[in-house]
Amino acid sequence: QLQLQESGPGLVKPSETLALTCTVSGGSISSSSYYWGWIRQPPGKGLEWIGSIYYTGSTYYNPSLKSRVSISIDTSTNHFSLKLSSVTAADAAVYYCARAAGSYYPHDFDYWGQGSLVTVSS
């Protein structure tokens, strides 16, 4: 059974960089059939796609976040990572990592991590 687990600091200071890692177990991150992505959800609000990465390193980002986002992948350790720079209070959210079907473009997300709550405060 595929499992995804987010890890990283739960508290980030304003203007600093948020960094999270997603560790994938029970399957290979190098599969040619899937993208790996990040989605966030502010408390009490809806879902926002941040970006997705293929095992080759090819990425797609949400245009509204593109200037601040970087997603990377490490196939040797089966994990992928998110960096979001210059954070503000608006970036406080539960951050989910997830697997998306697709070989040329990320589609629907069929496996999700449990989520990691990130607070932005000095």
Partner 1 sequence: EIVLTQSPGTLSLSPGERATLSCRASQSVSSTYLAWYQQKPGQAPRLLIYAISSRATGIPDRFSGSGSGTDFTLTISRLEPEDFAVYYCQQYDTSLTFGGGTKVEIK
Chain residues binding partner 1 by CB under 8 A are 46-49, 52, 60, 62-63, 96, 98, 100-102, 105-110, 112-115
The least distance separating partner 1 from the CB of residue 114, rounded to whole angstroms, comes to 6
The least distance separating partner 1 from the CB of residue 30, rounded to whole angstroms, comes to 22
Rounded CA gap, 12 and 64, in Å? 21
The answer to whether the beta carbons of residues 34 and 58 sit under 8 Å apart is no
* Cβ distance to partner 1 smaller for residue 19 or 102: 102
Rounded CA gap, 59 and 92, in Å? 23
* Cβ distance to partner 1 smaller for residue 53 or 100: 100
The least distance separating partner 1 from the CB of residue 23, rounded to whole angstroms, comes to 15
- Helix, strand, or coil (residue 45): coil
The answer to whether the beta carbons of residues 39 and 96 sit under 8 Å apart is yes
* Cβ distance to partner 1 smaller for residue 85 or 115: 115
At 98, list the tokens: 């997830």
